[in-house]
Amino acid sequence: MSGFFTRLQGVLHPAALRVAPPDGLRSAGVLVPLRDNGDGVTVVLARRTERVPHHKGQVCFPGGSRDPGDTDLLETALRESNEELGIRREDVEVLGSMDPVLTVTGFCIQPFVSRLSAASGFKLDEFEMAEVFEAPLAIFGQFDRYRYAESNFRGEPHRVYFLDYGPRTIWGATASILHRLAELADGIR
């Protein structure tokens, strides 16, 4: 599987790429952790609790809004991943970044695709995260599984994806990132 990660890295943007958010949107960084489990590549996802102020109960990637002390959005993604899921920086190999995702909730999210060590464990922040789980990357490449709703956002057509995985519905920015990641992975196989 290491060949897959090398090829994936070749189609990603450099992690140091800096994109200023459009006016009125807040900067956020998320880690998109991938792991080779021996049978294939999995994606690490989490589900937020009902106690958090935003995105209650939603499936997400670890990450969040940029804090003033963060040097950049990669720092934000790494810090938040540690705080929310206990992912240690030394267990993360950052492969690169994807195009930013704009959300109707006012965020410009910068996804950072990473390879997570097979030995890495999780320690959830009980206030923020209800669960962490892994799903095969291949599932997200089954494009006929997605549903979507069309809308307009900032004067442009906007597609909101929805995908069911077991008892969970993955939607919004998380589903958009997964859809695009699957397109990239599909193109390098």
Whether residue 149 is contained in a domain is answered as no
Q: Which of 19-28, 59-68, 136-145, 167-176 has the lowest mean pLDDT?
A: 19-28
pTM attached to this predicted model: 0.94
Whether residue 145 is contained in a domain is answered as no
**Residue 109 three-state SS:** strand
pLDDT tens digits, one per residue of 79-88: 999 999 999 9
For position 89, which CATH number holds?
Answer: 3.90.79.10
Whether residue 160 is contained in a domain is answered as no
Whether residue 48 is contained in a domain is answered as yes
Residue 101 sits in which domain range? 2-137
Whether residue 169 is contained in a domain is answered as no
- Which of these, 135, 125, 105, 129, lies nearest to 26 by C-alpha position? 105
**Number of separate domains in the chain:** 1
Whether residue 182 is contained in a domain is answered as no
Whether residue 86 is contained in a domain is answered as yes
Contacts of 72 (CB under 8 A, 6+ apart): 16, 18, 29
